[in-house]
């Protein structure tokens, strides 16, 4: 299955999430790529769209190889791959510095994407966590654990495509998992899309601005 683009993937996922409509739900997208997917789900279910901000931590000299990830929170939610840390002999000071850089970028994105907009409350709600796909699963794992701390009623993991092993690993963290395909030959998320452009910050903020009308979405007023 090839998705036309991320919006197409979101529409297909929304069809599998019809049972969530009217159940006090909220969509949390991982930027940047998860935002168009989440936008379509929020639009079709008429529920608020918000973000969960998380950053991958790459290995020394191999930034694309995830040795962990950190998600926003107080304190931040850090997950690491202990086997990779040991195999690569990653120094503790490298991990500390990489986490600091990731948190700096999370703060920058929060200011750019959300400004003074208040957050959608998660306590007691059905929370749909969305990305455009899952490769290693490190960022989604950090996101789910950060969200779980906010006491949602249920966490629904919803992605168009995922590496089978990564999805199995994440399944125990979610109350429900919806994934449209888990191909055995998985090299990168982009291979399952006809169009897979890199999103810009203005494109993300535009989608969030347009989504404010969905389901009484996050307010533009400053958070208390």
Is 13 within 8 Å of 160 (Cβ atoms)?
yes
Q: Is residue 219 part of a domain?
A: no
Q: Is residue 1 part of a domain?
A: no
Q: Is residue 77 part of a domain?
A: yes
Q: Is residue 160 part of a domain?
A: yes
- For residue range 65-94, list pLDDT tens digits in order: 889 999 999 899 999 999 999 999 999 999
Same domain, 146 and 36: yes
CATH number at residue 199: 3.40.50.2020
Give me the pLDDT at residue 126, please.
Answer: 97
Residue 224 scores a pLDDT above 70:
no
> Is the pTM here over 0.85, yes or no?
yes
Q: Is residue 224 part of a domain?
A: no
Give me the pLDDT at residue 223, please.
Answer: 28
Neighbour-count burial of 205, counting CB atoms closer than 10 A to its CB (0-12 exposed, 13-18 middle, 19+ buried): middle
Least confident of 25-39, 63-77, 124-138: 63-77
What's CA 202's distance to the chain center, in Å? 18
Residue range(s) defining the domain that contains residue 158:
6-53+120-212
Q: Is residue 223 part of a domain?
A: no
Contacts of 127 (CB under 8 A, 6+ apart): 25, 26, 28, 147, 152, 153, 154, 155, 156
Of the three residues 90, 111, 132, the one that is the final residue of a domain is 111
Q: Is residue 218 part of a domain?
A: no
Q: Which has the higher per-residue pLDDT, 220 or 42?
A: 42
Same domain, 160 and 207: yes
Give me the pLDDT at residue 215, please.
Answer: 85
Same domain, 145 and 44: yes
Same domain, 126 and 202: yes
Same domain, 208 and 152: yes
Give me the pLDDT at residue 220, please.
Answer: 33
Is 204 within 8 Å of 35 (Cβ atoms)?
yes
Q: Which long-range contacts (CB under 8 A, 24 or more apart) does 187-194 make?
A: 188/135, 189/33, 189/132, 189/133, 189/134, 189/135, 189/161, 192/1, 192/2, 192/3, 192/133, 192/160, 192/161, 193/2, 193/3, 193/4, 193/5, 193/6, 193/9, 193/132, 194/2, 194/3, 194/4, 194/5
Q: Is residue 201 part of a domain?
A: yes
Is 110 within 8 Å of 54 (Cβ atoms)?
no
Structure tokens that stand for 119 in this block = 């957050």
Of the three residues 91, 111, 131, the one that is the final residue of a domain is 111
Q: How many domains does the chain have?
A: 2
Same domain, 131 and 73: no
Residue 218 scores a pLDDT above 80:
no
Mean pLDDT of the chain: 92
Give me the pLDDT at residue 64, please.
Answer: 83
pLDDT band for position 216 (cuts 50, 70, 90)? low
Same domain, 147 and 74: no
Of the three residues 65, 85, 111, the one that is the final residue of a domain is 111
Spatial CA neighbour of 12 closest among 55, 59, 44: 44
User: Count of residues for the chain?
Assistant: 224
Q: In this structure, are strands 25-29 and 49-51 parallel, antiparallel, or unpaired?
A: parallel
Give me the pLDDT at residue 117, please.
Answer: 80
CATH number at residue 91: 3.30.1310
Same domain, 132 and 44: yes
**Percent of the chain surpassing pLDDT 70:** 96
Same domain, 75 and 146: no
Same domain, 145 and 175: yes
Same domain, 93 and 138: no
- For residue range 94-119, list pLDDT tens digits in order: 999 999 999 999 999 999 998 878 78
Same domain, 203 and 142: yes
């Amino acid at each position: 299955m090839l998705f036309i683009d991320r919006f197409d993937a979101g529409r297909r996922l929304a069809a599998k999430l019809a049972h969530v409509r009217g159940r006090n739900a909220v969509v949390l997208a991982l930027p940047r790529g998860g935002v168009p997917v989440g936008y379509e789900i929020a639009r079709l279910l008429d529920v608020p769209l918000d973000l969960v901000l998380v950053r991958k931590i790459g290995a020394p000299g191999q930034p694309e190889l995830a040795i962990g990830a950190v998600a926003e929170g107080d304190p931040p939610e850090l997950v690491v791959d202990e086997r990779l840390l040991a195999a690569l002999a990653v120094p503790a000071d490298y991990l500390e510095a990489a986490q600091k850089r990731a948190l700096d970028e999370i703060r920058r994105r929060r200011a750019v994407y959300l400004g003074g907009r208040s957050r959608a409350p998660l306590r007691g709600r059905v929370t749909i966590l969305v990305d455009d796909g899952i490769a290693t699963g490190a960022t989604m794992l950090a996101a789910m654990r950060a969200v779980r701390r906010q006491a949602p009623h249920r966490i629904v993991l919803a992605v168009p495509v995922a590496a089978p092993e990564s999805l199995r690993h994440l399944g125990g963290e979610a109350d429900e998992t919806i994934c449209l395909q888990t191909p055995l030959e998985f090299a990168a998320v982009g291979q399952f899309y006809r169009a897979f452009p890199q999103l810009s910050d203005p494109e993300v903020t535009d989608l969030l601005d347009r989504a404010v009308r969905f389901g009484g979405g996050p307010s533009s007023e400053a958070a208390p």
